[in-house]
């Protein structure tokens, strides 16, 4: 158990959660791209961390983390935070924040050097994320300031930076429903 406020429990996903996770992402994003992404990452064994928020045995939130690489920096161990979703009737209660914080803690304990995210800069700043350009990092999606990084281990990102590449499953993601159009998870 990672988080329990007596009503909402945050824990690692189980096989029994898979269908509800898919349905949550379909309901939270335009189209099925993010739901299919999570399914593909899971099938490929690339869900490094997959946490769910549950209340009264009902899945109400999910966050996923998967490996990323920096071209030319084989020793840099990073994760991409994507996607995160909370059921519409549970938003603005801090559930997404709890999922992200617990996921970052799992990444830190696993020795992850850095985490990247494509998302709303004002939202992710609360976790310590900064524009990735400050670390000379670029993304495959030309997301500008929406592409952010949190260095969990000081010096994990080499000063020369580089291009951050997500797992191959992201290539199938419909970019029309990407980070620039995130659902209102908590804002």
Average pLDDT, stretch 16-42? 96
Q: Answer for the pair 48, 110: CB distance below 8 angstroms, yes or no.
A: yes
Q: Could you tell me the pTM of the whole model?
A: 0.89
Average pLDDT, stretch 168-173? 86
Task: Return the pLDDT at 5.
Answer: 61
Closest CA to 175 of 144, 152, 141: 141
Q: Answer for the pair 70, 158: CB distance below 8 angstroms, yes or no.
A: yes
Task: Return the pLDDT at 21.
Answer: 98
**What residues contact 76, with CB distance under 8 A and at least 6 apart?**
69, 70, 113, 114, 156, 157, 158
| 75 SS3 class | coil
Q: Answer for the pair 127, 100: CB distance below 8 angstroms, yes or no.
A: yes
Task: Return the pLDDT at 2.
Answer: 56
Residue ranges and CATH numbers for the domains of the chain are 3-181 (3.40.630.30)
Q: Which of 42-46, 70-74, 143-147, 160-164 has the lowest mean pLDDT?
A: 70-74
Task: Return the pLDDT at 77.
Answer: 85
Task: Return the pLDDT at 186.
Answer: 47
pLDDT digits (tens, 9 = 90+) for 74-97: 777 899 999 999 999 999 999 999
Task: Return the pLDDT at 185.
Answer: 52
Closest CA to 58 of 122, 9, 124, 113: 9
CB atoms within 10 A of CB 41: 24
- Residue 182 — pLDDT band, cuts 50, 70, 90? very low
Average pLDDT over all residues of the chain:
90
CA atoms 44, 45, 50, 54: torsion sign: positive
- Beta pairing class for 114-118 and 78-86: parallel
Closest CA to 183 of 56, 102, 103, 82: 82
Closest CA to 78 of 51, 100, 110: 110
Average pLDDT, stretch 173-177? 53
Closest CA to 146 of 126, 112, 123, 174: 123
Average pLDDT, stretch 153-162? 91
**What residues contact 154, with CB distance under 8 A and at least 6 apart?**
none
CA–CA–CA angle 19, 177, 8 (5° rounding): 45
């Amino acid at each position: 158990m990672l988080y329990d406020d007596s009503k909402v429990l945050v824990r690692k996903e189980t096989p029994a959660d898979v269908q509800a996770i898919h349905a949550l992402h379909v309901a939270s994003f335009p189209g099925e791209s993010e739901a299919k992404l999570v399914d593909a990452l899971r099938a490929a064994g690339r869900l490094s961390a997959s946490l769910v928020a549950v209340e009264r045995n009902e899945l109400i939130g999910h966050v996923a983390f998967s490996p990323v690489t920096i071209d030319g920096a084989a020793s840099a161990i990073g994760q991409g935070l994507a996607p995160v979703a909370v059921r519409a009737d549970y938003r603005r209660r801090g559930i997404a924040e709890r999922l992200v914080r617990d996921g970052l803690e799992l990444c830190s304990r696993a020795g992850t050097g850095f985490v990247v995210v494509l998302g709303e800069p004002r939202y992710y700043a609360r976790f310590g994320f900064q524009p990735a350009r400050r670390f000379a990092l670029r993304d495959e999606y030309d997301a500008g300031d929406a592409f952010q990084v949190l260095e969990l281990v000081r010096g994990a990102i080499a000063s020369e930076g580089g291009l951050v590449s997500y797992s191959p499953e992201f290539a199938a993601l419909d970019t029309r429903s990407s980070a620039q159009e995130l659902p209102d998870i908590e804002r």
